[in-house]
Chain A
Amino acid sequence: MLDTMEHSDSDKNVENAILEILSSAALAPIELKKRVEKRIPGLKPTPYKGSLYALLAAEKIHGLPKLSKSGTPTKTIEKYGFGAPPPPPPSPRERAPKEILELLKARALPPADLKERLKKSVPALAAKDLSAILTELVETNQIYPRRTRDKHGKVTKKIESYAIGEPPADEFIAPVLTMWKEMRRDAAAAGVRDQALVTALLDGLMREGVSVGHVSPGETPLDDVALVLRGVRELVAREGHGALIPIRKLRGALKLPKNRFDAALLDLYSNDTLILHHHDYVGNLTDAERDDLVLDRHGNYYVGVALRGEH
């Protein structure tokens, strides 16, 4: 009751001025005071402070603490903002998995590089937490560690980089395919036809306990086009209107075989549904990075995709 009685019109004016000013942008304490004083000439510090604290107590405004170098909040207020205080930020341990996935969506990173980048966005993350999070993400197949190879080409224990998703099988299949080519040539010389060779190979795989599936006959290129377009739309909706989606990220999200993914994307570009942004500096890229891009039949490389007319 006393509070209500003492809440004079001038207090209300001060409060309204504060609320109105903060509704357009968060401001540093000094700047806020100056703007309020400009609106209410002759305003004394005590009623100003009183109104400020009343609004803080009523959670109509909130103070954002200044962060220390390590990212922890200090006692100094950096800015005042409109409305109730935002919920406390999740702990570094909770934030880190999302940040790691975001970083790796952009590109595979060596452990040291990943750690350094993570330090910028989650400065207070403990080393043991990082190690536990990485193990957890690997175990749940969300990321995988790519290991170095020794001079004989054998996979070592040392982690070269972390990447999103599950490890690709291509590099293990490449020597098999080389051998397949040789054997196919020998088989042909011996009069064995391709069909017989493939049938024998599939039988052999089944005897090894590998179930050999078939590509669904219903999965036509038309489905790929729809799938790719839907994928782009979903990622654009997440990133914001007009956003550029790196082709690497789209490829990682859709997991279509490279040839089908590339064909679908070029098809959508040729009929002007999507925009492809080209890459002029492919000379700088590694083979793996170049392979992540889309190449058209005229030798142009594309790095990103956006929706045409989308803003």
Chain B
Amino acid sequence: MSTSSQDHALSNIQNPFLGVVIQDVWQPLPLDVSSIQQNAFEQCLKGLDNVSAGKSDSLLIYGAPGAGKTHLISRFQQHLFATAKDAPDQALRCVFVAVRLQSSPTTLWQCVRQRLATDLLRQEQGISQLQRLIAHQIAAHVKEPPRKWVLAMRVLTSEGESVTEHLQSIAENLDLGRDVFVMLDHLVHRRYIFDATAWLKGDSLPEHVLSKLGVGADEGEEREEVARRVVTTLCRLAGETLPIVFCFDQLESLQRYPRDNDAFFRFGRMAADLADADPNVLLISCVQSVFVDDLKTNMREADRDRAIRRHATLEPLTAAQAEELVKARLDSVPELKALRAKKVDPLFPIGTTYLNQLFQTSTRTPRKIIAKCSERFEELKTGSGIEVGPPEAVLESEYIERRRLALEQPPEDSTRTLTHGLPIAWFTYEKCKEFASLAALEASAADVVLRGARGDFDVAICNERNMNSLAARFKKLLRGCSGPGAAGSAPIVLRHAALEISSGARKTREYLDELKRLGCRFIQPDAEALAALEALRSMVSDARSGDLSARGETLEPNEVAHWLFARTSPSLLPLLTQVESGA
């Protein structure tokens, strides 16, 4: 076939190489070549076998950007789902939790709590992982097959039969605590699902909602500590009857700035605690090869022994795997498959010669091979070299889309944006070169420590919806700047502009006035500024994780930061200036 007739044949065929980065492990994989990263996949299965036998295990998976870390986790999750029939209840082999660590190292437990609650409440075949878990517990408690109780859970409602009594015995046995028991009871019986879910995730709830749910008021306890307690409690609930798998992806995103080694130290502490919560816990952590050394060096030895018992490497593709990958993609489009059936070259229209050359010259990751083949396919379709936009165009469209999505977020979600995003923005806008050790935060009631012209200063993020919690938080901050042993300097308090302080919250207002009197500045960023900060935060984090790419080439975090710096955001800069002024 001549080039022009080939172009014509391809012109109406969809490019099979579009869609490169896997963002969510729960998404069905569009295409999976099982021979790729088979070794690492087997290590995941071995980990599950170990914890199923009550033997603690943890695995560090490392690889280059685009080697397929998230794809592998997704394959593992889908394999567990596909083979669930082999489980004792023929429905669930383990509890699976996937955590993208785009969080501040100071709020790690809160991030894990949020993901654990979300994934536990994920529905499969009309029933959540949490309901299955409780079904297993009840089955073990009454010595009956789990399958029977899984089926019973499917039809349980708030009006019908109750399992409260069984649940209470389990809660007593496992020392779950009253609040967790009450919330599990609501969720199992499908009562107040929205609010109970929000409680389990760690959201701040108004007083009347807490009262409706029947749990104690939020007394402004240390949020990380509460999150740690809830997570380890839920692990106990899972661990007794089913393995629980935590997959931590993008460990490098925890870093607030390059070489922020405190972040890895904190991760090590958290992972070790989680590993100790129950022998049935399997930890799978994914990190880019470049960060492996820093990660291991900055963990405490005792934590490293628990969090990284084994390693698995994501291997560059072999020539045969690259060919298999390209073939699979080409055959995923039926019209193209039909056209290819008549061709001699097994890699038509990409061409064996082209792939061989690509394989010899580029780094052999699936992402790179797919991206280059995508370009090649477009060239063949149009019959000429395609015009490739500069990376700046990719960054601009990413920024706009992320800011748009962030504008739709509820105000509470800005807590993560601020705790994780502020230090990243501070560094991006070159307001400092590094930050104080996170150890400095341990004695403080603040969430973030930033560095200003006159030294370090504290920032407290106070997005509590519950006025009692907010009052307790303000009181704690007051103690920090005026009580005995107080550090002295008043923190900056940030609260989303859309979150009002109700007129009846007399104590809360009093405390805030007192804080202001002591020199504390109260700043209320609006949705626009926070959306810009969220876009910046997620782009820098993705770049650090190697998940921001243009034409298969990973965009360097430095490059992304410089672009963001040069772009200047009219809504974000005033917020940063406001935070900085007087600091």
Contacts and interface: CB of A to CB of B under 8 A. Distances in A.
Nearest to A281: B556
Given A241-B311, A244-B311, A272-B318, A120 B300 contact: yes
Given A24-B54, A277-B64, A244 B276 contact: no
Nearest to B261: A117
Contact of A281 (B54, B265, B293, B558): B558
Interface string B279-306: 1000000000110111001101100000
Contact of B361 (A298, A303, A306): A298
Interface string A241-254: 11110100100000
Contacts of A34: 173-175
Contacts of A241: 310-311
A277 B278 CA distance: 34
Given A244-B62, A275-B315, A277-B289, A25 B310 contact: no
Nearest to B258: A284
B480 interface: no
A34 B236 CA distance: 12
Given A106-B297, A272-B318, A284-B258, A24 B279 contact: yes
Contacts, number: 105
A54 interface: no
A244 B175 contact: no
Interface string B526-547: 0000000000000000000010
B466 to A, nearest CB: 30
A310 to B, nearest CB: 8
A283 B556 contact: yes
Interface in B304-358: 310-313, 315-316, 318
Interface in A228-285: 239-244, 246, 249, 272, 275-281, 283-284
A165 interface: no
Given A298-B362, A311-B42, A281 B557 contact: yes
A121 B305 CA distance: 14
A30 B546 CA distance: 43
Contact of A242 (B65, B312, B318): B312
A298 B361 CA distance: 6
A156 interface: no
Contacts of B316: 275-276
A121 B258 contact: no
A275 B55 contact: no
B417 interface: no
A102 B297 contact: yes
Interface string A274-311: 01111111011000000000000010100110101111
A56 interface: no
A contact patch SS: mixed
B311 A121 contact: no
A303 B279 contact: no
A117 B72 CA distance: 34
Given A281-B556, A281-B557, A298-B361, A243 B297 contact: no
B1 to A, nearest CB: 32
Nearest to B546: A280
A110 B246 CA distance: 37
B278 to A, nearest CB: 8
B310 A240 contact: yes
Contact of B559 (A121, A243, A276, A283): A283
Nearest to A310: B313
A242 B363 contact: no
- Residue among B62, B175, B290 having the largest count of chain A Cβ atoms under 10 Å: B290
A300 B313 contact: no
Nearest to A25: B279
A103 interface: yes
B563 to A, nearest CB: 13
B258 A243 contact: no
Contact of B294 (A106, A277, A284, A308): A106
A283 B313 contact: no
Name which of A277, A284, A308, A310 has the most chain B CB atoms within 10 A of its CB.
A277
Contacts of B437: 116
Given A106-B297, A304-B292, A280 B65 contact: yes
B289 A284 contact: no
A102 B39 CA distance: 29
A293 B195 CA distance: 53
A227 interface: no
Contact of B55 (A24, A298, A311): A24
Interface in A96-134: 102-103, 106, 116-117, 120-121
Interface in B153-204: 173-175
A244 B297 CA distance: 13
Q: Which of B265, B312, B546 has the most CB of A within 10 A?
A: B312
B467 to A, nearest CB: 35
Nearest to B553: A280
B423 interface: no
Contacts of A309: 39, 315
B566 to A, nearest CB: 16
Interface string B543-583: 00010000000101111000000000000000000000000
A109 B260 CA distance: 15
**Which residue of A116, A244, A275 has the most chain B CB atoms within 10 A of its CB atom?**
A244
Nearest to A246: B293
B294 to A, nearest CB: 7
A38 interface: yes
A106 B261 CA distance: 13
Contacts of A304: 289-290, 292-293
Contacts of A138: none
A102 B297 CA distance: 8
Given A120-B265, A120-B300, A281-B558, A38 B55 contact: no
Nearest to B554: A280
Nearest to B301: A121
A279 B292 CA distance: 12
Q: Which of B289, B294, B361, B554 has the most CB of A within 10 A?
A: B289
Given A25-B276, A277-B63, 11 more contacts: A24-B54, A24-B56, A244-B292, A275-B315, A275-B316, A277-B289, A278-B363, A284-B556, A304-B289, A304-B293, A309-B39
Interface of A: 24-26, 30, 34, 38, 79, 102-103, 106, 116-117, 120-121, 239-244, 246, 249, 272, 275-281, 283-284, 298, 300, 303-304, 306, 308-311
Closest 5 CB pairs between A and B?
A277-B289, A242-B311, A25-B279, A280-B554, A306-B313
25 contacts: A24-B55, A24-B279, A34-B173, A34-B174, A103-B297, A106-B294, A240-B310, A242-B43, A244-B62, A244-B293, A244-B311, A275-B313, A277-B64, A278-B64, A278-B289, A279-B289, A280-B64, A280-B546, A281-B557, A284-B558, A300-B362, A300-B363, A309-B315, A311-B40, A311-B43
Interface of B: 39-40, 42-43, 54-56, 62-65, 173-175, 258, 261, 265, 276, 278-279, 289-290, 292-294, 297-298, 300-301, 310-313, 315-316, 318, 361-363, 437, 546, 554, 556-559
